[in-house]
Amino acid sequence: MPNKKFRNVVLAGASASAPERAVLGQSYRQYLANVVRDALESAHLTTADVQIGAISYNERNITEGALGSVVADALGMSPIPFISVSQACPAGGICADIIWNYIGTGRYDVGIVLGINKPDNFDFRDAMGPIGNWCDFDHMLGFTHENYGALRGEYYKLKYGYDDKAAAKWSYQCHWYARKNPMALHNSGPLPTDDELNEQSPAGYRMRTATGRNMATCLILMSEEKAKKLGLPPIYMNVSYMHRPIYIGNHYFFQDKNGNFDKYDMADQPAIKLAAAEAYEIAGIKPEDIDIAQVHDLSLYDGIMAMEWLGICQPGKGGHFVLDGQTAIDGKCPTNTDGGAIAFAHSSAGGDFQSKAYENWLQLTGKAGERQVKDPKVTVAHAYGTHHSLDVVGVVRKGTS
């Protein structure tokens, strides 16, 4: 929690690559360089203006050590401090939090947050089987990411009395937004039918869950004073994160020292609630102020649960909120307006937080094209990692010029 002297931090520029199944013919350095160039241009900066950086990456795919210094050198930013974080899905949020704190405390005025996911030429969701480095036998008691996501969704449905219709409606809305987003994977062709989205088969399940892709992202964070000098719009950003015990058994009434988890089970997401409470307090907002949300929706009901614990709707009511059309562009809280992980892609360290902040930045600056929400002022971005062992919440809001 910042003290009274903590400065406002502006999201001065942002960029993301279009999610791709394969990125051939260029290294991860080149992949990053393209989005860095675009983000710096949007903030009226050059590489010489950047004072500190951080990069999130997926350690399974990049074997080089000291990645921060490697990237700083490749981008022509040496010798500035450059932090590397390998936390997979929530890493972008962790990096954003680090740079936000450095700028907010006054140590630096301009920082850069990068994310890179460039695994291979395949859909890495297909690789999350019972063998290989995608399996979490070491800490999840034999459950893979896919196993756990499906189990959590089924438990939520059982507890609150849902079938897959709410998840199908969620997926349909994501595909609707994707048809309005030129960068999205599914940005053309007819929308999926109700029958396709509700089909009880592996194909139907895949229609309702995320698709993995390569992505590079870049956020430019800046002090408010610096942004004013450059004539940039005051788009303020702050970040908070909390963690929850990782073992599945500890997702049922866990007795932590502060009593934060002892009333909850696997259909609940108390770590999101804790992170959101801190982020909202810093930003001076309440859940009812939120105009747009971007949430992590890897598996069935993931995004719906996230909305509940962000305070957008009550726990257990998220499915009804979706079925009532409240996540649509004219609904109470348009959600995952870029298409979400279902239609815009799950990009692990490359964008599960940064791409959401990027979409919010586009919305707040009026650059979202056909999916532009009318006059948004307050947005949130959420990402989680390794089965909600860590949840990140960011508030991106419009200030007055």
pLDDT of residue 213: 83
Task: Name all domains of the chain by residue range, CATH numbers in brackets.
Answer: 9-117 (3.40.47.10)
Cα distance between residue 367 and residue 13, in whole Å = 12
> What average pLDDT values come out for the chain (401 residues) when binned by 10 residues?
76 94 81 94 96 85 78 94 87 95 97 85 46 45 72 93 94 96 91 90 84 90 97 97 85 89 93 97 97 93 96 97 98 97 84 94 97 98 87 95 62
pLDDT of residue 61: 61
pLDDT of residue 58: 73
The CB-side HSE value for 164 (13 A sphere, CA atoms) comes to 21
Taking a C-beta distance cutoff of 8 angstroms, is the pair 110, 45 a contact? yes
Q: How many angstroms separate the Cα of 22 from the Cα of each of 25, 26, 27, 214, 315?
A: 10, 10, 12, 7, 38
pLDDT of residue 400: 78
DSSP symbols for 284-328: T--GGG--EEE----STTHHHHHHHHTTSS-TT-HHHHHHTTTTS
pLDDT of residue 401: 62
pTM for the model: 0.93
Cα distance between residue 54 and residue 112, in whole Å = 6
Greatest alpha-carbon pair distance for the chain in Å reads: 56
pLDDT of residue 109: 98
Q: How many angstroms separate the Cα of 246 from the Cα of each of 186, 250, 266, 385, 387?
A: 33, 7, 11, 10, 7
pLDDT of residue 59: 61
Taking a C-beta distance cutoff of 8 angstroms, is the pair 357, 11 a contact? yes
pLDDT of residue 29: 87
Burial class from Cβ neighbours inside 10 Å (0-12, 13-18, 19+) for residue 300 reads buried
* Strand-strand pairing, 52-57 and 292-294: unpaired
pLDDT of residue 122: 47
pLDDT of residue 135: 45
